[in-house]
Amino acid sequence: MGFESILEKVGSMGKFQAMHVILLAFPILFMASHNLLQNFVAAVPSHRCRVRPDANATEEEPLGQDLLRAFVPLDQDGRPDKCRMYTVPQWHLLTANGTQGNWSDQPDTQPCADGWVYDRSQFSATIVTEWDLVCNHKSLRDMVQSFYMAGVLAGSIVFGRLSDRYGRRTLLLWSHLQLAVSGTCGAFAPSFPLFCFWRFLAGMALSGIILNTLCLCVEWIPTNIRTAVMTFCGYSYTFGQLLLAGIAYGIRNNRWLNFAVSIPFYVFFLYSWWFPESVRWLMMNNKAELALKHLKRVAMLNSKEEGKELTMAILRSNMEAELTSSKAKYGVLDLFKTPTLRRTAFCTMLVWFATSFSYYALAIDLQGFGVNIYLIQVIFGAVDIPVKLVGIWALSTIGRRFTQGICLILAGVVILINIFIPADLHVLKTTIVAFGKGCLAASFSCCFIHASELYPTVIRQTGVGLVNTMARIGAMVSPVIRLTSDHLPFLPMVIYGSVAVISGASAFCLPETLNIQLPDTIEDVESRGRQGKVQKNDGNLKQGVQIALMEQEI
């Protein structure tokens, strides 16, 4: 409690904290825009082969539907085929009695030879129309999101280590600038490989922002209002989903949309210079003088005279215990050396992987539901508002383990049920999928809370870091699984749903932690595992663990 007492002296709930939290929350609005940008910049409009009956024909002089029949076969729905054209024009089909005949009599076809013609009524341009990511190249479209999520994974590893070395504020500044620059460069990338490269760097930057925003936000607020602050930050992401729908509706060009959601990060970079560095980080890196300077600045903003009288001796004496306890080092391998902690690690890794894996299966394939893409983006964002409230209530009353398991199982069942709903029942499909997405959003909240309480203090950051990495891997693999639909259309949903159900069942193998004393050492965890029971804690055990509301779906 050393820093808590220092924070009280400089003002724990003053003008500085209000400005600090609000300014840190603004970038979270646009994090959702980058996470879900794939839905709009990579949208697939209706398309068919471009045909040129003579050398003077151009895309600006489209063929009439009657003449088109001689060049492009019809699919099962009676519309021009998206990927094939006749090898030789079938002029006889233009006669009054012309038919395509029996299947055995079908003329030879070939892949589109002169590119494609796209319906630009909804999207003026996307990366699909720009680089023809359709038919034999359609897998490249899903790979874009995998590259982005690979960047998020790399960023959580690289920027996490760099922030420990160079400071939270420094890495936050760099991450804001990197996302602004990579987003701008991606918006005007001249080739598809370069676009993937810039999206990878954007994903890295987003990880740096969330990691360091979280640290700086928690650093300067007292424990008793931490839940409220994290709830506010979590809802910033939720409203960011709604904001994306509005921006995308107004900007139908992929390049300008990418540019529009990246420009604000230049502003965030400029005002982030105002943020003070983490006092704990400064103290641990022998920069006590600078830490004292930041504390006195906060005291001045909060009009706390007591804080202005802080000295180096007072600061060191209050934080000595915290600095001593932080020097103990544990590695990832320590999570697997003892049976109870090993079981906890494996189960939480599966839960985090499945939650992210299934969540992005629903959140990134909005076109597949047959509903207006802007409307369904609003629905998917709005459903999180009540779900987060219900999730917090369930976690606080029913328990962590039950809430985690049920949310995943329900989401998995919903995904599997969706396979059997006819495609023309758009409203029913959308309603059910929105419910499943809400269950996964609640599961995200529980992930952070439960893991924070399961791992002992001495290795908590390592444990949460490991499972967070598994979540990033799940998000990265999710778009790739969608490619299996080329072999069986229902196979991706079978995989997504089954993984969610299995992981939900594994969540019941984890200990319940509601109102249970947080373990401090690995020995505490093993002792509780052997005894099969734990002691109740009368104190406030929820402090800080609801950080999940800030990192939800990211």
Model confidence at 551, pLDDT cuts 50, 70, 90, reads very low
Q: Which ranges of 272-425 does DSSP label H, i.e. alpha helix? A: 279-284, 288-301, 305-308, 312-325, 339-363, 373-382, 384-397, 400-418
128 three-state secondary structure? helix
- 378-404 as b/e: b if 16+ CB within 10 A: bbbbbbbeebbeebbebbbeebbbbbb
For residue 216, report the phi and psi dihedrals to the nearest 5 degrees.
-70, -30
Calpha distance 433→362 (Å, rounded): 7
Q: Residue 531: is its pLDDT beyond 70?
A: no
Q: How confident is the model at residue 544 (pLDDT cuts 50, 70, 90)?
A: very low
Q: What is the mean pLDDT of residues 351-374?
A: 83
C-beta of residue 444 within 8 angstroms of C-beta of residue 548? yes
Q: Which two tokens stand for residue 348?
A: 């939480």
Of 268, 280, 267, nearest in space to 218 by CA = 280
CA distance 278 to 296: 14
Write down the pLDDT at residue 63. 52
Give the tens place of pLDDT for each residue, 430-465. 888 888 888 888 888 788 778 877 888 667 767 877
Q: What is the CA radius of gyration of the chain?
A: 27
CATH topology of domain 332-554: Growth Hormone; Chain: A; (1.20.1250)
Strand partners, 84: 111
What is the percentage of the chain residues whose pLDDT exceeds 90? 20
- Quick one: pLDDT at residue 554? 47
- pLDDT value, residue 103: 46
Length of the chain in residues, anyone? Answer: 554
- pLDDT given for residue 194 in this prediction: 95
pLDDT tens digits, one per residue of 71-127: 888 877 778 888 888 888 777 777 755 555 544 456 788 888 888 888 888 889 999
Looking at every residue in the chain, the average pLDDT score rounds to 80
Q: Give pLDDT, residue 198.
A: 95
pLDDT tens figures, 491-511: 888 999 999 999 999 999 888
- Can 1-45+119-225+252-327 and 332-554 be said to share one CATH topology? yes
pLDDT at 227: 63
What is this structure's pTM? 0.79
Architecture label for domain 1-45+119-225+252-327: Up-down Bundle (1.20)
Angle between helix axes 426-454 and 339-363 (nearest 10 degrees) is 150
What is the SS3 assignment for 229-243? HHHHHHHHHHHHHHH
Q: Are 355 and 471 in contact (CB under 8 A)?
A: yes
The string of pLDDT tens digits covering residues 327-345 is 566 778 888 888 888 899 9
Domain ranges of the chain: 1-45+119-225+252-327, 332-554
84, two tokens: 């094939």
Range picked from 287-296, 323-332, 396-405 for highest mean pLDDT:
396-405
Report how far Cα 462 is from the mean position of its chain's Cα atoms: 21
Q: Residue with structure tokens 């539901």?
A: 369
Which of 22-31, 193-202, 454-463 shows the highest mean pLDDT? 193-202
- The answer to whether the CB of 403 falls within 8 A of the CB of 448 is no
| pLDDT at site 532 | 57
pLDDT at 281 over 80: no
Instruction: Give the rounded percent of residues in the chain with a pLDDT score beyond 70.
Output: 84
CB 177 within 8 A of CB 489: no
Q: Which of 235-239, 392-396, 412-416 has the lowest mean pLDDT?
A: 392-396
Beta strand 109-111 pairing with 84-86: antiparallel
CA distance 147 to 145: 5
Q: Which residue has better confidence, 166 or 67?
A: 166
Q: Token digits for 99? A: 């038919």
The pLDDT of residue 499: 93
C-beta of residue 554 within 8 angstroms of C-beta of residue 206 = yes
pLDDT number for residue 410: 92
pLDDT given for residue 105 in this prediction: 58
Q: Is the pLDDT of residue 36 over 70?
A: yes
Burial class from Cβ neighbours inside 10 Å (0-12, 13-18, 19+) for residue 271 reads exposed
